[in-house]
């Protein structure tokens, strides 16, 4: 959160109002307290050029990689609801609803990463009891033909099926 506050401060100096929507590990850290940190922050943001410049300034001041906040996630996004997490003077920070975050994590299903623990935590927090509930959420956002067969096995395994 420290770097997001600094991002707001940088935007203030630039006289820019910005918006970002966080995804992935950053949401798991800030909203669900799933772990203390994430190696990078996946987000979409606007105005993109101004925020990129502010991100570089924060990176330089804190000895971070210039892409500590990046928009690589935008290629995986589908239409979804967002809610405000922080509303600072120069930066509004949004996060997706939990069902969308779950769908994204399941769609990616990177078993050898923290995704498995994140998925388990979201399933528990959302009170999901059956694999079908997860697949119903997944298919709200991603067409069935885009979902890898391994995803089904992964989710069923999480439920001991």
Let me know whether 139 and 107 are in one domain.
yes
- 83 and 153 co-located in one domain: no
Question: For residue 112, what pLDDT is reported?
Answer: 65
How far apart (Å, rounded) are the C-alpha atoms in residues 84 and 15? Answer: 21
**Per-residue DSSP letters for 58-115?**
HHHHHT--TTSEE-GGGGG--S--EEEEEE-SSEEEEEE-HHHHHHHHHHH--TTTTH
The tens place of each residue's pLDDT in the chain, 161 residues long, gives: 899 999 999 999 999 999 999 999 899 999 998 887 888 899 999 999 999 999 999 999 999 999 999 999 998 899 999 999 999 999 999 999 999 999 999 998 776 678 889 999 999 999 999 999 999 999 999 998 888 888 989 999 989 86
Domain count, the chain: 2
For residue 27, give every residue at least 6 positions away whose Cβ sits within 8 Å of its Cβ, in sequence order, or none: 95, 96, 101
pLDDT at 38: 82
Q: Which residues contact 103 (CB under 8 A, 6 or more apart)?
A: 137, 138, 140, 141, 142
Name the pTM for this structure: 0.90
- Domain enclosing residue 68, as ranges: 2-96
- Same domain? For 56 and 68 the reply is yes
């Amino acid at each position: 959160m420290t770097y997001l506050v600094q991002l707001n401060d940088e935007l203030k100096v630039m006289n820019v109002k910005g918006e970002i929507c966080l995804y992935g590990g950053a949401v798991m850290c800030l909203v669900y307290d799933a772990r203390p940190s994430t190696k990078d922050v996946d987000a979409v943001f606007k105005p993109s050029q101004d925020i990129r410049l502010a991100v570089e300034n924060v990176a330089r001041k804190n000895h971070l990689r210039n892409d500590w906040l990046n928009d690589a996630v935008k290629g995986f996004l589908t239409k979804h609801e967002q809610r405000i997490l922080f509303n600072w003077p120069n930066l509004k920070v949004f996060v997706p609803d939990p069902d969308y975050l779950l769908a994204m994590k399941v769609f990616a299903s990177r078993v050898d990463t923290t995704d498995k623990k994140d998925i388990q935590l979201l399933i528990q927090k959302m009170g999901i009891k059956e694999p079908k509930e997860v697949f119903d959420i997944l298919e709200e956002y991603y067409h069935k033909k885009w979902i890898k067969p391994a995803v089904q096995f992964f989710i069923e395994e999480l439920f001991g099926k």
